[in-house]
Each structure stands twice: as structure tokens, then as C-alpha cells.
Structure 1
Amino acid sequence: MHLPPELDFLSPFLIKAKEEYRSACWLLSDFDDPVWRISFEFKTYKELDWRVVLDDGSTLTESRHKQLLDSFKYYLTSCTRISSSFLADAKGQRQQHKRFRAACHIIDLLLINSKRYKLSSHGLGGLTSGNLIEILETIASTPHTTESIYNWTNRAREYCLDLVKRTDSNEISIVLKSLPEIGLITNEQLDDDILGISYDLIPQVRAALYLRNFYHNQVPYGKQPNTFLLAQDIYHDTLRGKSLAKPVHPILCFNSDTSTFKKEYRSAPVKSGQHERMIDNTYYFYRSTLYSLGLLHEIPLPSPPLEALIEAERYMPDLSTLGRFRTVPSDIVFKAVRQAIEFHLDHGQEITKAFCRVALECRKRNISPSSLTHEEVQYLVGQKLASLGVNRLCLSTRVRGSAKSKTRSNVKGKKNEYFENLRRNSGLYELIMVYIGCIQLTIGVLMARRASELYELKAADCLDETETWLMFKNAKSTRHLFGHRRRQARPIEPIAVDMVKTLIRMQKVLQRIGYIRKLKTLFAVPTVTGAPNLTESSVTVYNRNLDMFCDYFETPLNAAGERYYFRQHQMRRFFAMLFFYCGSFAKLDTLQWMLGHADPKHVYHYITESTDGSVLASAKAHYVAEQLHMGNVENYLALAELLKKRHGTEDFNLIDTHDLEDQIQDLLVEGWVEIEPEFFTDHQGHKFKVVARLILTEETA
């Protein structure tokens, strides 16, 4: 329709949908091309190859599938259409790219299941409400689209096992002999393994991948599979999945340096077997993107019936299934806190001063710390630390072995020797990491904050002027703040303040002598390469310090021979746990004074104000589970009777503490039981005891 000049502004509204959606601002190719060039302000354009193999062996670009191909193309261009005024905004462009990725994920999920949905014969018009709901349930099953959409772990496992079968066994044997490191499996790899291949087969799988040139050098794994190349082989039935790299499974990586271990033992599980699901906002985004299939009705092209789309739009799966963090036995944590405090009191000042002397010497001579000989390090750290065992800079840094020798020692060496040297206090840097791990553990238990709130603490401003409050950024407080996090303050125990001030003083000295340009994060550690600097704290550095602490003090092993390596999400509940145990009438040695200075009512009020409900419920459940496990049922008779009815036993020693904790927590969540402190005053002052009350219902009455 030709409009007069004064009505030209109406032209965009008169274009038919079929013509309008043949273009998009990100599409650089002709709509009918079999391979699209696309760009969302990329440095170079990317390709979208529509020549996908369907379940019957045919290709999507064949003439008989033109309607299905056009449906996919129009779906992609239409659901990413954004008004020009919004598109001019950078946020709008990011939103468009996000919608594009989500639509590609949905197309890939349909293509992967093309046989199930009979796409070859029925197209998108054959999708029922049940199919759409199934798609949404699949997407919501995990927060990671590599698993929900692409089933990456299972398909990678099947591919690897099939590759071994297709590879000549003699060639595999040759690789295993020529590269003995290819058979080394570390504790960290065992901890992180979800691939599910028998460990006896892992060396053969690695060799088969190596023979196909699938490995490349990457930090931090050394030789790791190129998942981009693997995806091209595995996901030939997808549009976008074949051109995207996938997460690396650490169990498939290997390193020519056999000293890649980080922990002495495998980690005891920190979470129950339940899987986390997609968060609600992400699910809503995918659901609205799927609903955009209805735009095909405008063109018109086959599309799911409107009734099916509306029913799917109303579907809400369970998005709240979270695995529970396993609680470390309380006696282990209490002992660890005592060890941490004693280590600080005995060695904290000396360790930080020794490091400052090393840094000053390096600044005077304008050399790297790794240039110092073992003898020079022993002299610089002082007699007290030298007698404690310090005889080198770092167990993980290549340094000269002695003043006379020009050779360099091997990194770390054998695993058993490394951890023996760690506990002999041989390395100064390791001793600093252990000490910082002590501080992290103490603050983590006493403050009950999230890990990110702690490892992001700044040495420059983490304490207020009175040095009685810890200042941090709340990890979940960005709402209405444009992504910025609220700064909050919480009271901190004097012993923890003393620890924090020790680290702050160390950094101020390092800044004054020019070793660092500015103050770093509070838990920054010396750079293990021996470079003159501090490595900023991060989740990796934070956890490594805790691991170092656990191996140094040899925290106990569980029945499976796995060590309890502390994590902050486990420690958060122990402030409340500490409160409950201080209410008992058993002696707690060093720990009893921590909460004995205040009215327990006031302390408990602070706990309930500053601790998440789920964390507090977990602490209550764990405390009562341990009491029942030890036979202390006096304050929990009704609860014990209920558990007896449910599980057919009154001998709680027969039930694993973790299982008992889960059962009690379920009762708390379901509203059957409440567990609270009961306060009273006697001749010794304010006291309390923890009791469990059965909440009467029609069923229990």
C-alpha cells in the first residue's frame, strides 16, 4: 500500500509479519541462506549452520523440510524482535542476545528430540500441551543448560566409552607407556568427578582422546580436552550446541607435572544427593521464550495450538528442590576453632612479621622472593620460626636449593613428602596460608556470613572506627540498587578483631615498603610463583586456605576415608550451633567464654535476626540429632517418640547422624516440631536449655 508522505510514519505498521520477520538487526545473511552469519556486536561474526541432521538421517535444509526450517528461522527472528527505541539501549541489546540464546536452546532441544516429537512429519504444529510442559520441565530440571538441554555429562560419557571401543588397543597401550602421567588421577579429580566412567577406564579414555588430537594446554588443568571439538562431534543434531564449548570434566585432564595435587585426601561430601533446580527468574524467561512460538501464527506457519501454548504458559514446576549441605560433626568444628585461635595466639604475629622482613629484603635488593636461597629465608624469618621448622620460602615455588647451588628444586615433589613438610612448617608461604585459613575459619564460624561476603572483605575498610563491627557487602541485597550491594555491619568478637588487625597491619607494612601498591582483600595471600605481590582473595583462594588448614591440623576422616574440608556454607550454621552447645552443662574448654559474656536471650535474638531461617533450622536439627545420637533424650521425649513411630527404632545410635538430621529437619519444615531454647535463671545466673516440642495436630492428637 502506497501512503502519502504525511502518513509515511504508518508504513512499519502495515508490513506483513512474513516480510517483517525475514530480517533482524543481528542477521547479516539472507533469510534463505543455509548458513547464517550473525553478530550481536561481536568482534567477528559467528555462523549458524542450519544443515542439521534429523532423526531419519535427512538434513533440515532439504526441500521436503522447508516448512519446518522456515518455522525455526521465523521463530528465531520474531522472538528476538525488540522495538527500535529499546534496542538503542545497551541493556536492550543484551536482552535481545539473551532471548536469542534461549530460543536457540529451545530449538536445539526440539531437534535433539525430533524423533520423539515427530518433527519430520508433523512440524511444530504437532506439539501438544503435554510436549510443551515436558520441554519446560526438562529446562527447569537443572540450572545448567549444558545438562538440561544438551545432557552433556551423559552424552560425553557415552561418546568417550564408544571412542575407546573404536580405537585400536595397541595404539592406546603405546600412549599409556609413552605418557605415564596420563594415568594419574588426583584427589581433586575424584572429588569433582560426575562423568561416571570407571576409574580403571579413565587412562584408556584419555589415551583415545589424545590419539584424536582432542587435547590442548589450558590452565589450571594442564592437558584438557577441547570441548569445542568434542561438541562438533557429539552435537551434529543441534543448531547451536555443536558450535559452543562445554564445561570441562576434570577427570579427563592430565598434567606432565605430577605435583598437581592440592589436598591430601578426597573431600567428605558437603551436600546431600538432591540436585538444585533452575531459579524462578530464569525459568520465567525460558517459559516466555517458548510461548513466543505462538508468533508463527501471524505468518502463518504451523505452530502449537494456542490452547497448548496458554496451558504451558501457566505451568509452574517445582523450582525449590535444593540439596542440603552436610553438617560437619560439631566436635570437629569446635576443636578446629580452638586450634585456629591457639595458632593465632602462638604464631600469628611472628608469621606476618617474618613475611614483611622477607618482602623488605626483596625490595632493598630489587629481587623476586623466589630468588632467595633457603639459607637466606631461614635467616630472615628469625630464630623462632626457624626453630619451628621454616627452612624455605614455599613448598610450591621453584627456588634455588642453596647459596652454592644453581639448580632449582622440583615443584612440590611427592605427595606424602609435601604434606609431611607442610606439617613440619617447612614453607613460610604455606604457613601464612594456614594462618589465614585459621582466621577465615574463626570469622566464618563467629560471623555466620556467606563466603562471598568474607572473601571480598577489604583490608582498608572491613572494620569500623571503633574496631568492634565487621563491615561487608551483603551478598543478597542488590534489589532496587542497580546491581550494587548494600554495605552492612555486624558486631565481631574481640579475638576475631585481633586476627583481622594482624592481617591489616601486615598489608600496611607491605604497602609502606612498596611491596604492594595498595591494600588488597583481607585474605590475600603471597603469590605462590614467588613473584613480589599478593594474590587477591577469591572463592578459589579462600577455599585453598581452608584446605591447607585442614591438612595441616589433620581434621578427621569419615568412614569412607574422606577428610572433612571446611566450606563457609557449612560454617554459617555453627554460630547458632555454638550458642546451643554453650547452653549445655558440659564444659567446652576454650569455646565456653565466647558467648558467656552476654545474656543468652540477647544473643539468641541476634542469632535469629542475623541468620537465615533455613540455616538456623539446619543448626537446630543437627544439634538435636547429635544429642539423640549420644543418647541424650531427656529434653526431646516427644520428638524421640515420633521418630520411633516413623522409623521403628528407639536406638538412635543405629541411625546415621546425617540421616537423623535430615529427618528432624523435615519435621521442622513440615511443622510437626519446633526446637527452641528455654531460658531460665538460677543461682548461677542466666541459663537455657534446648527443647523440642511436638506441635499438636489432628493426626498427632
Structure 2
Amino acid sequence: MKPHREIPEKLSFLKTLKKSSSEGYRKAPWLLNDFSQNIWHVSFEYKEPKHLNWCVELYDGSVLTEPKNERLLTSFKYFVVIATSNHGNYDAHTNGLKTQVRSYGIALKIIDHLLLNAEAYGLLKTGLAGLSDQNLKGLLNQFAQSSSSVESVYEWPERLASFLVKLRSDTSDSAINQLLASFPHLSMVTEQQIELSPLPIPMDEVPAIRASLILNGYATSWPPEAKASFVNMPKISHHILSSTVKAKDVRKPIYPILDIDNDDFYRTEYEAMRVSTTEGSKMTDSIFLAYRKVLYSMGTLHKLGADAPSPKSLQAVQKFVAHDSKVGGSFRTAPSEVVLSSVKKAIEFHYKYGSDIVLLMSRLLKKCQSENVTLNKITDKDVMSLCPESLMALGVKKLGITALNVGSPYGPVSANRKGSRTNYYKKLRANVGFLELFGVYVGCVQIVTGAMTARRLGELTDLPAKGSLDKSRQWLKFWLRKSSRGMMGRRKSIMRPIEPVAAEMIGNLEAYHQTLLETGFTDEDLPLFSSPTLTAKGTISSGVSVYLRNLDLFCDYFETALCDGKRYYLRQHQLRRFFAMLFFHCAQDGDESTIRWMLGHVDLEHLWHYINENIDGTILAGAKAQHLAQQIYTKGEEGYTDLMDLINETYGTQNYVKGDAAKLEERIEQLVNNGLVDAVPEFILQPGGTKLRIVTTVRRNIHEQD
């Protein structure tokens, strides 16, 4: 018998060849305890290890870690290790740490999606082996529809909405009515709350849903007295996503529509004209490819004797490309005169007060630095001692109307900081509070920049405070949204010519941000349109919510027009439509000089290409419809008889034309979207330069040629 001999140390790499495949995938550098444990200890160089608990309850009442579910659990565990390894080289985790972290997260998202839909996939009967190519492609296609895994992977908005509707149904009507009577603020639902809360729930049931959450123990610090009250979203998440290993602990978005606190429950002076602002962001190519690669790695499970989708099903997804399924909504039009008036007022306000507003903010920040305090330690007396004369004359008297600064009459939480709606907006327009005035000025910059660039809301909120303008300060640089497909996840940038007044306004905000950095209020470059909170507490705020807050302050300050008792609170998609509308309007009237000044393009054909390439089809269709409707409504039907005949044939009447321009616009927009009506510019070369006119095309069917 030959003596047993060990492989020499210098040939130790050969030891892996003696291992079974399954043994190689039972370990990973990030897995700190044994593969067989029901609670994994995980660390990707974390300060403290994190726990991954496989003990989750499934739809049949069993637990994933029970013996009956052992094959499914083992497949899941192997899948996570496989996903983080160099595929094809077991026991090899030589890929980068960031890659491992991303693959780990993707694998858990796929597992959680499967667990949430376990019954539909037949997971407890056939395991992963039962997943068809249609299942896998459908899964990838669903994931690709949003950059937010909370939305696409976990379908959180829909699951939350179902939970809320059922909770309300299961709660006593009498208990709900009693609570609503005791706390009237629960019945207050604002347009901004609706706008920022893409939840498919009946709006008329919102007060009852809020009450149901409170009555069933899903609220913290209720009733709101010493502390603010809010819906306990982590508790709801653990209830709805109890069958997941990771998703239930992932932070969920805050939906203002579920706001139960009575602090500042009105956000605007009037109810807003309804708008639709959703600009869904797709998953980038690079992330999609990472998901596809991780999903395809399930094939390695076959080598381990574990359950896995068939090789044929996996091959079907190896080169699968997701298609776009989201359809844009329709957008409410803001009258052109409202936008033009707003741009005019914003520019005038900038020339009168912009520099002094930024100057006072810089002085306040420097005082905070010299005294080593935060903004809420500044007294109203301090504000007045630093205030430029122009702002004193304007009416500034304190740090903020609702600021919780030293000497403020308000406690840390006060339901009545704003007082009555009438008094608050009277003070706003009297310029009493500086922080509100600063928000109005930032809103001015947003209005002018938004109207003159026609960029998406996300592209504007992404604008950095440093480096947005080129060295000549004549071009503004944007990182395009919805531009990453085919770019391996890299977002394209575009340089947009910008009018000097807009560049000057942006320059003021750049100076404000430079002071933020110099005084230590922030140690990083923030987005351009960041603003202090109106309470003067916390950090500088940025993002969509603050951007919309500043627009609302602007609209209430300058009192944009009312329609049926509702105010036009301008939104970026309306400014984008206005950009195209201005082109059509000026082209119709032969006013090319206004186009060139307002939109920053010298070449009219280049401008038209810019509009076509950078404004969504839905918004452009709306602009065309609005232009045609206004022409007919203000100048008569002459020259538009074919269009009016088509409207009559399609909808059976022309009577509404005499009294309802909005209905006329709506009908024309439907025809434009159906390909039956179009309005395009015709460029005419003349000795004095290029002229243009708008040509309207009407077809009786979509197959008819021009």
C-alpha cells in the first residue's frame, strides 16, 4: 500500500481540482459563518457584519428553512455565492469588491422577487427548475422598466396600495369617522401630496386610509404633540414583504399622501390645477446587463446537482433585450401668458433683488462660521443687522416666517407655526421671512432656466452647482435622462446655449454654493438648486421635493393666474411644452427674433432639430395641439377647414369650439397622437435670411401619404 502523500505547498492551487463543485460554492470571502446556517453573517468590509435571515414564512405557511423546502433553500444559497464569484471558476472571488457587492444585491433581489411570487411561479412544487424562458424574460423585462428596484422588483407601490385599501376596508367606519372628527387635519389632501405620491389608491379614501393606519397601530408618536407623528413604514414593509430575505428591510419611499402630522398641512395658497408630472426613469444598460448576467449564472446550479431553470430557458435570456412598456401620460397645459408672465417677473425680480438676496445669505453663513453655530442659532436681530437696505425696504424682518431659530416663539414641534393660510401668504408677499424670500429667488432661477432649456425635471435637479456652465458662460451642460441605452450605462451630456440673464442667475447660485463650501456648511458639491429648509433646521435640502417647493413659493408670491379657484403651480413639463409652443407661436407670427433670443439658437433649423430630439413626443404633441387650438379659437376656422371637418367626423360635433378651447385642444391632441394631424415648420430661404411658417397636415387615415 502506497503511503498517503500531501500536495506540496507550492502546488497548493491544485487542491481546488480535488474538490467537488458543490464544496467550492459553500464558501465565500464575505460569508463569515457556515453555509448551512439559517442566519448568515455577511461582510463586504463593513464596519459590523450584517445578518441575512433565511427563516422566512412562505405562502403555504411553511418556513423556507424547514426540511420540506431544503432543495429550494440550498438552490438560493448556492445562487448567491455563484453570483458573487467569477462564474465558471468555483471557489474564485477574485473579481472586484464593488462587483461582488452589486452581484450580491442583485441575486437577493431576484430571490425576493421569486419569493414574493412563489405561488404564481409554482416555486414550492418545482423549485427553480420550473421557471420557464417566459418567466425569466418577463422577470427581466419587468425589472428594466424602472431604475428603482423598490418599484420594479418588489412592486412596492402596488403592494402598498393593496394593503392600504384592504386595511381601510377592514377598519370600522364609525372609528374612522370619530378619529377624523377629532383630528380635522387628517382630511386635508393637497395637490402637492398627490403629485409626489404615485400610489394607485382612491384619492377620496385618503383620509379614511390615514385614520385606518393610526387605528391599526401603524403610526408613531400619535397623537402629534411633543413629537411629530408619521406612518411607520418599516413596520408596514415587514408586514407586506414578510416572505422576503432582504426586501422587507430595504428603505421605502416616503409618500406625502400618507402624511398624518398636523404640522404645515397646507403647502400652497390655493388648490392646484391638476397636472401629471411622472417622468419614469428606466434601468440603465449596465445595470440591466448585470441583472441578466446574474440571472444567467443560475445555470451553474446544474453542476452542483441543485434545482435550476433548464439550459434552454437560460439560453433564451442570455441575449435578451428588454422592451419599453411604459406609456407617458397626458399633461395639463399652462396658458402661454402664464408662463411668459412668470419668466418676465422672475427676470425683473432677479435684476432688482437677486444679488442682495445672495449677499444676505452669504453674510448669514459667514456669521455662522465665525460663531461656530448652525443657521437656527441666528437671531432675527442678527438678520436685520446684516440685511442690505434694499431688502429692509422690501419688508424683511426675520430669518423665516416659520423658522425655529433662537428667539422664535415656536417650540421644536408646533402645529401652528404657519398660522392661518391667509396670514401666512400675506406675510410671504410682504417679504417678512428671509428664508422664504430666498426660496422664491431660487424659484425664479428655476423658472427661467426651465423655460429656456426645455430639459427634464430630473436633468435640472441633477445640475451640479459647480461646472454646469462652460468657461464662456454661454453654454449649460446637462447629463441626459433616458439616454443610457446603448451607452453601457454612461449618460450622455449635452451643451445647451443659454441666454445671458439665465447664466447670470445661475452665477448667483454658484456664488451661494461657494460660500456654503467656504464656511463648512457642506464639504461636497451639492446640486445647483439646493436650498435651506424653511425651519432653518437640518442640512441644506435638494431634490424634487425642494425644487417643487420653490416653484410653489414662486407661484404664490407672484400670484400666478387662477382658473375655477385653482392656481397654476408651474411644473417643468409645462415649461418644456411652452418651449415648443413658443416656437410654433413665433413662427406663425413671423417673429424669428423672439425665438432666437428666448431659446438661445441662431439657426432655426437646428432649433427645430433640438426640439424634436429633446422633447418627448407626448409633450410635443400637446404643444402642437395647443398651438392649433389657439389659432382656431382666436383667429377663426379659416385655413383649418380640413381639421375641423376631421374633428366633426371623428367626434360628431364642433359646438364645443365656441365655448371650450381646452376641449378643442384635447381633441386635436388625440388626433396628433393617432397620427392623423401634424404641425411642422417649413423653412424658406429668403435674401434677408431664413423664414419659417407652420404647415398643418390632416389625414383621413394613418396610411394616407403626405
| TM-score bracket relative to the smaller structure | 0.7 to 0.9
Cα distance change of structure 1 residues 24 and 626 upon mapping to structure 2, 3 Å threshold: same
Q: How big is the shift at 1:298?
A: 1.2
Q: 2:301 aligns with which of 293, 296, 304?
A: 296
Task: Check conservation: 1:37, 1:47, Cα contact below 8 A.
Answer: yes
Q: Distance in 2 between matches of 1:396 and 1:549?
A: 17
Q: Does 1:666 align with 2:673?
A: yes
Q: How big is the shift at 1:432?
A: 3.0
When structure 1 is superposed on structure 2, of 22-31 and 690-699 the one drifting more is 690-699
Q: How does 1:49-60 map to 2 (within 5 A)?
A: 49-60=53-64
Q: Distance in 2 between matches of 1:407 and 1:273?
A: 37
Q: How big is the shift at 1:205?
A: 1.8
Secondary structure of 1:425's partner?
Answer: coil
Q: 2:477 aligns with which of 472, 475, 491?
A: 472
Task: Check conservation: 1:390, 1:425, Cα contact below 8 A.
Answer: yes
Q: Distance in 2 between matches of 1:407 and 1:119?
A: 55
Aligned to 1:106: 110
Secondary structure of 2:206's partner?
Answer: coil
Task: Check conservation: 2:84, 2:104, Cα contact below 8 A.
Answer: yes
What one-letter code is carried by the residue in structure 1 that aligns with 2:673?
D
- Root-mean-square deviation (CA, aligned residues, Å) is 5.0
Q: 2:683 aligns with which of 668, 674, 678?
A: 678
Unaligned 5+ segments in structure 2 are: none
Q: How does 1:299-310 map to 2 (within 5 A)?
A: 299-310=304-315
For each residue in 1:644-687, what CA deviation from the matched residue of structure 2 results, as whole angstroms up to 9, or x when unmatched?
6655556784674664465355356x9x85612433659x9764
> Identity of paired residues, percent?
31
Q: Does 1:201 align with 2:208?
A: yes
Q: How big is the shift at 1:319?
A: 1.9
State how many pairs are aligned: 683
Q: How big is the shift at 1:437?
A: 1.8
Q: How big is the shift at 1:615?
A: 0.5
Q: Distance in 1 between matches of 2:642 and 2:107?
A: 54
Q: Does 1:336 align with 2:359?
A: no
Aligned to 1:241: 247
What one-letter code is carried by the residue in structure 1 that aligns with 2:418?
K
What one-letter code is carried by the residue in structure 2 that aligns with 1:319?
D
For each residue in 1:490-518, what CA deviation from the matched residue of structure 2 results, as whole angstroms up to 9, or x when unmatched?
44323334544555677889999999999
Q: How does 1:66-465 map to 2 (within 5 A)?
A: 66-82=70-86, 87-88=93-94, 92-140=96-144, 142-160=146-164, 162-163=166-167, 185-193=189-197, 194=199, 196=201, 198-209=205-216, 211=217, 222-255=228-261, 258-271=263-276, 278-313=283-318, 315-319=320-324, 321-324=326-329, 326=331, 327-348=333-354, 351-352=357-358, 381=387, 385-386=391-392, 388-398=394-404, 411-451=417-457, 454=460
Q: Does 1:65 align with 2:72?
A: no
Secondary structure of 1:124's partner?
Answer: helix
Task: Check conservation: 2:284, 2:484, Cα contact below 8 A.
Answer: no
Secondary structure of 2:230's partner?
Answer: strand
Cα distance change of structure 1 residues 674 and 625 upon mapping to structure 2, 3 Å threshold: closer
Q: How big is the shift at 1:596?
A: 6.2
What one-letter code is carried by the residue in structure 2 that aligns with 1:329?
P
Q: How big is the shift at 1:229?
A: 2.7
For each residue in 1:539-579, what CA deviation from the matched residue of structure 2 results, as whole angstroms up to 9, or x when unmatched?
444333222111212223556x6543333354345444333
What one-letter code is carried by the residue in structure 2 that aligns with 1:107?
I
Q: How does 1:457-606 map to 2 (within 5 A)?
A: 469-472=474-477, 474-475=479-480, 490-500=496-506, 523=529, 525=531, 528-530=534-536, 535=540, 538-557=543-562, 563-585=567-589, 594-595=594-595, 602-606=602-606
Task: Check conservation: 1:108, 1:238, Cα contact below 8 A.
Answer: yes
Normalising by structure 1, what TM-score? 0.79
Task: Check conservation: 1:172, 1:207, Cα contact below 8 A.
Answer: no
Normalising by structure 2, what TM-score? 0.78
When structure 1 is superposed on structure 2, of 265-274 and 226-235 the one drifting more is 265-274
When structure 1 is superposed on structure 2, of 24-33 and 391-400 the one drifting more is 391-400
Task: Check conservation: 1:635, 1:692, Cα contact below 8 A.
Answer: no
Task: Check conservation: 1:555, 1:564, Cα contact below 8 A.
Answer: yes
Q: Distance in 2 between matches of 1:4 and 1:395?
A: 78
Unaligned 5+ segments in structure 1 are: none
What one-letter code is carried by the residue in structure 2 that aligns with 1:202?
I
Q: Distance in 1 between matches of 2:83 and 2:572?
A: 42
Q: Distance in 1 between matches of 2:151 and 2:355?
A: 48
Aligned to 2:13: 9
What one-letter code is carried by the residue in structure 2 that aligns with 1:625?
A
Q: Distance in 2 between matches of 1:451 and 1:275?
A: 11
For each residue in 1:335-354, what CA deviation from the matched residue of structure 2 results, as whole angstroms up to 9, or x when unmatched?
21122223334444565566
What one-letter code is carried by the residue in structure 2 that aligns with 1:106?
I
Q: Distance in 1 between matches of 2:244 and 2:539?
A: 45
Task: Check conservation: 1:224, 1:248, Cα contact below 8 A.
Answer: no
Task: Check conservation: 1:184, 1:254, Cα contact below 8 A.
Answer: no
Secondary structure of 1:393's partner?
Answer: coil
Cα distance change of structure 1 residues 365 and 584 upon mapping to structure 2, 3 Å threshold: same
Task: Check conservation: 1:358, 1:380, Cα contact below 8 A.
Answer: yes
Cα distance change of structure 1 residues 102 and 463 upon mapping to structure 2, 3 Å threshold: closer
What one-letter code is carried by the residue in structure 1 that aligns with 2:445?
I
Q: Distance in 1 between matches of 2:116 and 2:616?
A: 44
What one-letter code is carried by the residue in structure 2 that aligns with 1:95?
T
Cα distance change of structure 1 residues 586 and 86 upon mapping to structure 2, 3 Å threshold: farther
For each residue in 1:57-85, what CA deviation from the matched residue of structure 2 results, as whole angstroms up to 9, or x when unmatched?
22333323322332222223223322789
What one-letter code is carried by the residue in structure 2 that aligns with 1:307?
K
Q: Distance in 2 between matches of 1:17 and 1:512?
A: 57
Task: Check conservation: 2:164, 2:209, Cα contact below 8 A.
Answer: no
Secondary structure of 2:569's partner?
Answer: coil
Q: How big is the shift at 1:625?
A: 0.9
Aligned to 2:622: 622
Q: Distance in 2 between matches of 1:599 and 1:566?
A: 19
Q: Distance in 1 between matches of 2:370 and 2:74?
A: 71
Q: Distance in 2 between matches of 1:599 and 1:228?
A: 47
For each residue in 1:36-69, what CA deviation from the matched residue of structure 2 results, as whole angstroms up to 9, or x when unmatched?
2222333322333333333332233332332233
When structure 1 is superposed on structure 2, of 151-160 and 376-385 the one drifting more is 376-385
When structure 1 is superposed on structure 2, of 177-186 and 194-203 the one drifting more is 177-186
Q: How big is the shift at 1:434?
A: 1.7
Cα distance change of structure 1 residues 366 and 303 upon mapping to structure 2, 3 Å threshold: closer
Cα distance change of structure 1 residues 374 and 635 upon mapping to structure 2, 3 Å threshold: farther
Q: Distance in 2 between matches of 1:461 and 1:31?
A: 49
Task: Check conservation: 1:164, 1:208, Cα contact below 8 A.
Answer: no
Secondary structure of 1:47's partner?
Answer: strand
Secondary structure of 1:583's partner?
Answer: helix
When structure 1 is superposed on structure 2, of 6-15 and 103-112 the one drifting more is 6-15
Q: Distance in 1 between matches of 2:470 and 2:127?
A: 64
Secondary structure of 2:334's partner?
Answer: coil
